[in-house]
Amino acid sequence: MLFSYVFSMAVIAAILWGIGVLMNAPLRHRLILIGIIGGIRLVPVVIEAAQVWRTEAFRRELLGLVVLCVCVVLAVLYARWVRSLKAQRQPVKVETVEEPAQAAAPRPASLFAEGELERYARHIVLHDIGGPGQKALKQARVLVIGAGGLGSPALLYLAASGVGTIEIVDDDVVELSNLQRQVIHSEAGEGTLKVASAAERIRQINSHCNVIAHDMRLDDISAEPLISGVDLVLDGCDNFKTRYLVNEYCTRLGKPLISGALSQWEGQISVFDPASGTPCYRCVFPEAPAGDNAPTCATAGVLSPLPGVVGSMMVAEAVKLITGAGQALRGEMLIYDAKYAETRRIRLQKGYNCPVCGDQG
């Protein structure tokens, strides 16, 4: 009785888990559904068990089930222990061996310059990134729209993470009111182009990073050549017109779009990647808010460290996309409320007949 229940529930759980993986359902939702079905199916088992619990056969079956559960728990704990041992990687040691001059042969140039392995050591020993992940970051090309509140921390951490090429698009200049939150700029840079100020700061952080500054406002002419030449885009602009334009070309060219937004005490972030079957930005925001429904930072204000939190989250998503680590926020939006220290995630749905991605996914 008990063994048949456990076996049948294992089969059902495997089927539901597989369906959840195919539908990209959150882990919590899969576990809740399995728990509900398991609870419903357990009722008749409990009723039957209440009638036969005194029998010798039932006691033997119960003992066998307990032993089986203990074995499963021990197996899971052993597997976790083995994974933890594998995760404790040692830094790569580069040994040089002197060879006779006559035996010397030309060697291919290393991807990393002298000192870079030490610079990125904390990434190289990090599980899920390691050497291959750091190599992918070195070879990546990322476009950042806007060098303001969100762009500032995003650019700083993209450079610190070792992204090989960073392109910046912005047509604004540094103003004194920016310095409350746009941490990549300084008082000395007041009145200079934001892209120039940001590029100079990036070079100070990581001289191995190739920075390309575009002093312009993104438009229909410049969007396609800029976006087509990069691996992914981080959008931290402050207007819906540019956001819709970036989304349109990212969708058309199959480039993942990491979008962040701020409002007073609250920030939000999502990864829009219709090429992977997820909604695009236009699915979630089909029309720009009218009037004062979307106030700017200048009119509504914004908490100083909030752009740093959301901008850093955007880079975390970028690193995951580039290295293949973890699970990116595709099809989900993370909302952070700094006022009450709360975070929540909401599932996003593709828009009905979306004019941008309606024929994709």
Residues that are catalytic: 297
- Pairing state of beta strands 232-235 and 141-145? parallel
Measured at the CA of 301, the angle between CA 299 and CA 302, to 5 degrees, comes to 145
Neighbours of 122 (CB within 10 A): 9
Spatial strand order of the sheet with 165-170 comes to 210-215, 165-170, 141-145, 232-235, 257-263, 266-272, 332-337, 342-347
| Side chain identity, residue 135 | K
Residues 6+ apart with CB under 8 A from 331: 24, 277, 278, 279, 347, 348
Residue 358 phi/psi, 5° resolution? Answer: -60, -25
CA-based angle 232:245:299, to the nearest 5?
A: 105
Handedness of CA 317, 140, 219, 153 (dihedral sign): positive
Total residues belonging to the chain: 361
Residue 229 vs residues 65, 120, 178, 197, 221: alpha-carbon distances, Å: 59, 26, 30, 23, 14
**Is 334 strand, coil or helix?**
strand
Q: Which amino acid is at 75?
A: A
Closest among 239, 190, 188, 233 to 214, alpha carbons compared:
233
Q: What is the 3-state secondary structure (H, E, C) of 108-171?
A: CCCCCCCCHHHHCHHHHCCCCCHHHHHHHHHHCEEEEECCCCCHHHHHHHHHHHCCCEEEEEEC
The helix or strand, by DSSP H or E, that contains position 215, with its residue range, turns out to be strand 210-215
DSSP type of residue 7: H
How far is 358 from 340, CA to CA, in rounded Å?
A: 37
